[in-house]
A = this chain, B = another copy of it.
């Protein structure tokens, strides 16, 4: 951490800063030039909040050099984290895993049709929402526990793993009973109470990036979960908010690369939420595969026009089959295995 001192700071005010730093157990190095007084703070500064130093009158600027996350950092662990879901499904290696299903679990017929479809195409992970976070209190809120049970039944019948979004701490126990991966929605990325509780879980956590979160904040949220003792975190880039309104969000494809440089955790792309437009999903999925994501989460629906939520970004089964046909030869060229 680097601390720049104000030009007109009194000696006494500067001393208070230096005393505080030493008292917290850090070493100091003077990097001043004749124009500006600067100190380097040496030690494990990840427990310091840079902004707190601005409380000192003498401080002009504080600059963090070490990343504030540790366990999520590639500096802490250089090898890629592999998350083994059993039955040969491993996230984080050379498999490109597809997590497929409807936005909302709606009824048994829908889910059985989707389950059979996945099995037929040799896909392994079923997604579906049972507790839906909707911006309007007047919109469909999901089937709740019945939805989770139904997903489990379908998954067991067709040899699938289940991923679904958890709404709150009180629902975690329920999710641990029915699902294989617990999803944290974008709007809960900084629900620290929830993150702490998930740190106690033994299930892999699928952490969506917040709508306007930086990559550092996203990794800090992963750190919360890992700090609690759960190392199995999967990151998901699902589009960020920008000024563009033609797409629902804006897919930040370079975030995949940034995460892979900064962290050892696997990273998945969700082109459905990122674009909000079913026509864009196929080419975006090809781009996500090409850029090196570890997999994708894609919404499908047998009849999107009748979907209770997010029909606009759901592929019909036919369109998804075409997408698969496009991904296969690309995966071959890129040395990835579609799962």
Contacts and interface: CB of A to CB of B under 8 A. Distances in A.
Contact of A31 (B42, B187, B290): B42
Contacts of A136: 46-47, 49, 68, 220, 223
A314 interface: yes
What copy number does this chain have within its complex?
4
Interface string A121-145: 0000000000001111111000000
Contact of A137 (B216, B223, B242): B223
A195 to B, nearest CB: 8
Nearest to A280: B257
A139 B49 contact: yes
Interface in A5-21: 7, 16, 20
A214 B187 contact: no
A248 interface: yes
Looking at chain A, what size class is its interface with the partner chain? 35 or more
B33 A42 contact: yes
A55 B305 contact: yes
B243 A250 contact: no
A168 interface: yes
Given A38-B65, A190-B133, A190-B187, A243 B214 contact: yes
Given A43-B33, A54-B277, A170-B170, A135 B190 contact: yes
A89 interface: no
B193 A167 contact: yes
Given A170-B170, A251-B254, A330-B290, A307 B52 contact: yes
Contact of A227 (B137, B188, B274): B137
Contacts of A212: 211-212, 241, 243
Contact of A66 (B16, B35, B216): B35
A278 B53 CA distance: 12
A311 B55 CA distance: 5
Interface string A234-254: 000000111111111011111
A286 interface: yes
A147 to B, nearest CB: 16
A284 B247 contact: no
A75 interface: yes
Contacts of A46: 136, 138
A312 B52 contact: yes
A27 B35 CA distance: 13
Contacts of A254: 247, 250-251, 274-275, 280, 284
Interface of A: 2, 4, 7, 16, 20, 27, 29, 31, 33, 35-36, 38, 40, 42-44, 46-47, 49, 51-57, 61, 63, 65-66, 68, 75, 133-139, 167-170, 187-188, 190-194, 196, 211-217, 220, 223-224, 227-228, 240-248, 250-255, 257-258, 261-262, 274-280, 283-284, 286-292, 304-305, 307, 309-314, 329-330, 333-334
Which 10 A-B pairs have CB atoms at the shortest separation, nearest pair first?
A55-B311, A54-B312, A212-B212, A31-B40, A287-B287, A286-B290, A187-B190, A290-B290, A287-B291, A137-B227
